[in-house]
């Protein structure tokens, strides 16, 4: 069993277009200078972080840091969940944000520089945080998929396959969305939440715990990660001109008031679509509709900065 002060760092060397390895060199030095005891492991490919997280949890670690982006944090959370009931609530997670999108870190106002991350780890300030739990209705007995930030069905998951490697997230995600729109036909959705039952063609339906996704798109400005509710956001079927007109609103947080956008708060929801469409969680494509989403209130502790921080180098 490790000491309660110990942290386990799961390093994605490919994060941020290959910046992860250099970031880890600086972060490991800063953690050592701050006298933070750490263990670490390097991922070797997609999904490896999940296996590494489960192994570290079973070895006695309870404090985890994902060095990477939203996908790295997603693997970390689901690896802990693989360790059985109670593993999530017994754990603390944080992120050293050097990924493509860094959307969860943006919502948490986590610092970007390795030295500031090390100082945040040393300070050890945490708070409870909600988690989303996705159940796939087409796969009997399948384990749920957990998400800590945003899940979505429709265009956002479809566009994941168009994300370019050479662009930063703030450019790459809008570019992928517009490319994906060219080959995407809006399905007929039915969304049943606590107090709504929406039916009709939609581009995308989000269930948001955090406020941002897609490399800085501010899809759920009012999202509160500790209220036990999903911010449900559905965007009507729109053509390219309509999407282009609304892109600024997606980044400045004014999308909620748009006539093509429906919003609600809900503890749980069911998303179905005809034809079925892809579903993403924390930016990772995880399956297809139909899905049931349940919010687990304050299900995990997260590392937070002592004070709001900028996004320094």
Q: Domains of the chain by range and CATH?
A: 7-124 (3.40.50.10330), 132-298 (2.60.200.40)
| C-alpha span between 132 and 297 (Å, rounded) | 9
Q: Report pLDDT for 137.
A: 72
Q: Where are the beta strands (DSSP E) in the chain?
A: 7-11, 38-42, 63-68, 92-97, 126-136, 145-147, 150-154, 188-193, 197-208, 230-236, 261-266, 268-274, 278-281, 284-288, 291-303
Task: Give the Å distances, CA to CA, from 106 to 38, 43, 102.
Answer: 24, 23, 6
Burial letters 202-236, b for 16+ CB under 10 A, else e:
bbbbbbbbbbbbbbbbbbbbebebebebbbbbbbb
Give 142's DSSP letter: P
Q: Report pLDDT for 139.
A: 55
8 A C-beta contact, residue 93 and residue 282: no
* Site of tokens 């209705």: 137
Task: Give the Å distances, CA to CA, from 83 to 50, 61, 110, 136, 308.
Answer: 11, 12, 27, 20, 33
Burial letters 135-174, b for 16+ CB under 10 A, else e:
bbeeeeeeebbbbbbbbbbbbbbbbbebbeeebebeebbb
Q: Report pLDDT for 311.
A: 38
* Site of tokens 């406020």: 211
| C-alpha span between 243 and 121 (Å, rounded) | 40
Give 213's DSSP letter: B
Task: Give the Å distances, CA to CA, from 21 to 51, 53, 106, 289.
Answer: 19, 18, 21, 36
Q: From first to last of its 313 residues, what are the pLDDT tens digits of the chain? A: 456 679 999 999 998 878 899 999 999 999 999 999 999 999 999 899 999 999 999 999 999 999 999 999 999 999 999 999 999 999 999 999 998 889 999 999 999 999 999 999 999 999 999 999 999 975 556 789 999 999 999 999 998 887 766 666 566 777 788 888 889 999 999 999 999 999 999 999 999 999 999 888 899 999 999 999 999 999 999 998 998 898 888 888 898 889 999 999 999 999 999 999 999 999 999 999 999 999 999 999 999 997 644 433 3
Q: Report pLDDT for 179.
A: 86
Q: Report pLDDT for 3.
A: 62
Task: Give the Å distances, CA to CA, from 154 to 84, 142, 178.
Answer: 31, 21, 13
Dihedral angle over CA of 219, 225, 229, 233, nearest 10? 0
pTM, two decimal places? 0.93
| C-alpha span between 270 and 84 (Å, rounded) | 25
Q: Report pLDDT for 307.
A: 61
Task: State the pairing for strand pair 92-97/291-303.
Answer: parallel
120 φ/ψ angles, rounded to the nearest 5 degrees:
-65, -45
């Amino acid at each position: 069993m490790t000491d309660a002060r110990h942290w386990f760092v799961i390093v994605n060397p490919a994060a941020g277009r290959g910046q992860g390895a250099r970031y880890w060199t600086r972060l490991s030095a800063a953690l050592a200078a701050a006298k933070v005891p750490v263990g670490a492991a390097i991922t070797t490919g997609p999904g490896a972080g999940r296996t590494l997280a489960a192994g570290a949890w079973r070895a006695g670690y309870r404090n985890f840091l994902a060095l990477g982006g939203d996908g790295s944090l997603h693997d970390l959370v689901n690896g802990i969940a693989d360790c059985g009931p109670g593993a999530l609530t017994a754990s603390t997670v944080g992120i050293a944000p050097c990924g493509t999108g860094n959307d969860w870190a943006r919502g948490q106002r986590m610092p970007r520089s390795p030295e500031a991350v090390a100082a945040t780890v040393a300070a050890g300030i945490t708070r409870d945080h909600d988690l989303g739990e996705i159940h796939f209705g087409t796969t009997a007995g399948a384990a749920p998929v957990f998400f800590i930030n945003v899940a979505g069905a429709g265009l956002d998951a479809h566009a994941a396959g168009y994300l370019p490697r050479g662009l930063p997230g703030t450019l790459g995600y809008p570019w992928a969305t517009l490319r994906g729109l060219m080959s995407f036909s809006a399905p007929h959705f039915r969304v049943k939440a606590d107090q709504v039952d929406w039916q009709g063609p939609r581009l995308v339906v989000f269930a948001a715990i955090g406020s941002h996704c897609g490399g800085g798109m501010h899809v759920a400005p009012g999202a509160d990660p500790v209220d036990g509710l999903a911010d449900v956001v559905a965007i009507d079927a729109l053509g390219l001109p309509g999407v282009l007109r609304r892109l600024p609103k997606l980044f400045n947080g004014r999308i909620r008031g748009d006539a093509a956008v429906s919003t609600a708060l809900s503890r749980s929801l069911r998303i179905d679509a005809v034809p079925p469409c892809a579903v993403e969680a924390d930016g990772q494509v995880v399956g297809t509709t139909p899905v049931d989403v349940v919010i687990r209130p304050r299900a995990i502790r997260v590392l937070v900065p002592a004070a709001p921080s900028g996004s320094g180098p």
